[in-house]
Amino acid sequence: MKALWIVLAAMALYMGAGYFGWSRYIAWRVFGMTPENDDLPTPAHMPDYADGMDYVPTNRFMLWGHHFTSVAGAAPIIGPAVAVFWGWLPALLWIVFGTIFIGAVHDFGTLAISARNGGQGIAELSGDLISPRVRLLFQLIIYFLIWIVLAVFGFAIGVLFDTYPASVIPINAQILAAMAIGWAITVKKIPPLMPTLIVLIILYLLIPVGIQFPISISQMVGETGPGLHLTTYTVWALFLLVYSGIASVLPVWLMLQPRDAINAYQLVIGMALLILGLAVLNPTMAAPALNPNPAGAPPMIPLLFVTVACGAVSGFHGLVASGTTSKQLNHFSDARMIGYGSMLGEGLLAVLATVAVCAGLPDWGGHYHAWNTSGIQAIARFVQGAANFMHALGIPTDFSTTLVALMVIAFAATSMDTAARIQRLIVMSWADTFRLPMLKQLWVAMVLAVVPAVPLVLAGQSAWGPLWMLFGTTNQLIACMSLMVLWVYLLRTKRPSWAVAAPFVVLTVSTTISLCMNLYEWATTHTGNMVTIGLGTIILILEIWMITEAVLMLCRQLKHPTPSPLR
């Protein structure tokens, strides 16, 4: 089958059935986010919240850029690039329909109720709707997830820096340029479009510089460095943890917003080039549509759902939507474009990732001859396949390869920035819970947010496989818990709830079974270490506890109805 027809069909479904169809029903009938609400102030405009650091009213296109690039990290590329072991058809069906009816609904819903209630995170809202104990349980699951996010994305970027050292100079130049843009826009009041485009052009001009002067630390570190036996991946990941910690304490206008705006343009340009190259090359899908028994692979059902991860639905997106995006929303009517629309964009990226590894690799069977439990090279496979599409447009191979690697690194690094910021806010919120005022200190909270991810990084490359599967399951469990909170919210505010309840049931059943299967395999085959087994067990217990608390609360609500504390 021709890959181009698959991409065009996915785009048509996303726009027709998704944005112009289902999202309108969800926005207007379920959550009541209509243009009439624009007369009401968002949290960013409320004097009690506006602080110039986290609560900053932001142009919807710039905020779309922040949200899109924060959620469109490496995960929607890695997940599909691994899941195609089972064949491209199951992966694409889950990506397309999971995005429209589960992922985008989840993202928009968490953004909507957070913006209506002071920009509180989804975990804080669960405390108001269900119980303070549930809030703490939810925060603990999120805390563990972000440990894994920081380690997994740090490793992914480390692989790309090591494999494509030409990307190091441009990506670091982008960080400095983003801070200059943030200063120019906020302090000098310069309109954002022109400086953002200028920096993007400079970024592309630096690609030949990076190719001419690649920066590799493999000669300094080697395959096994001194003392801790650090690999190059590990060293880069540790460096990125330091970077993300520092970025998490900077005002959003200084680096987060302008860098995300650059990355948003970069993503749109990159995806457009991929589609154009795909149209010129017009390749056939080299992978089988169905490959039910790949050598050494686990069962496709239900593990496909957690392997694809962010390509269809992601709990991390709800953390971004309610943790940072809702605090920057300028008008309530912007929420549908930013929340639902960004998830459709991520779904399209996942579709392109699937096509890139299934039609862009000259020897698909050589790359996918057996199940690779680590999947650590999945992102490099995408870069190679996507670069082959761009090469069909006449772009030199070394330039196109660096361009794709740069795009992926930028998204993954942005996700790390946002994750560290969300983690820092969670730690600061525990100051009152545990009566520890020092947790409100910015740098103390930052250290506690980032440093616990270091042991996961030091576990080394062998921990990647279990970490990725644990990331997928924990990420989906966060989405399950967020959907549960949305369901309770809709029931207590007497709004239509079936569009949220059905995805909650489907996702909770499949993800819980997947986590149990993974824990059993890691424990019996010794493929996981004590860290991943211990974290997975704790997260499973917390999930069951949260669901039990919610069920008990709903039973009490049926007997003695009380109005919702949220609006």
Q: Residue range 234-246: average pLDDT?
A: 92
Mean pLDDT for all residues in the chain: 88
Q: Answer yes or no: is pLDDT of 218 > 80.
A: no
**CA-based end-to-end distance of the chain:** 49
Q: Residue range 78-86: average pLDDT?
A: 90
State the SS3 of 262-288: HHHHHHHHHHHHHHHHHHHHCCECCCC
Looking at 3.40.1440.10, 1.10.287.1770, 1.20.1740.10, 2.40.50.140, the CATH number of the domain 3-559 comes to 1.20.1740.10
Q: Residue range 280-297: average pLDDT?
A: 86
470-480 residue pLDDT tens: 888 999 999 99
Domain coordinates in residue numbering, the chain: 3-559
pLDDT confidence of residue 227: 46
CA dihedral 474, 478, 483, 485 (to 10 degrees): 140
CB 170 within 8 A of CB 195: no
Burial class (CB in 10 A: 0-12, 13-18, 19+), 554: middle
Q: Answer yes or no: is pLDDT of 247 > 70.
A: yes
Q: Answer yes or no: is pLDDT of 221 > 90.
A: no
pLDDT confidence of residue 418: 83
Core vs surface per residue 5-26: b (16+ CB within 10 A) or e: ebbeebbebbeeebbeebbeeb
365-374 residue pLDDT tens: 777 877 754 5
Distance CA 251, CA 247 (A): 9
Q: Residue range 215-229: average pLDDT?
A: 62
pLDDT band of residue 226 (cuts 50, 70, 90) is very low
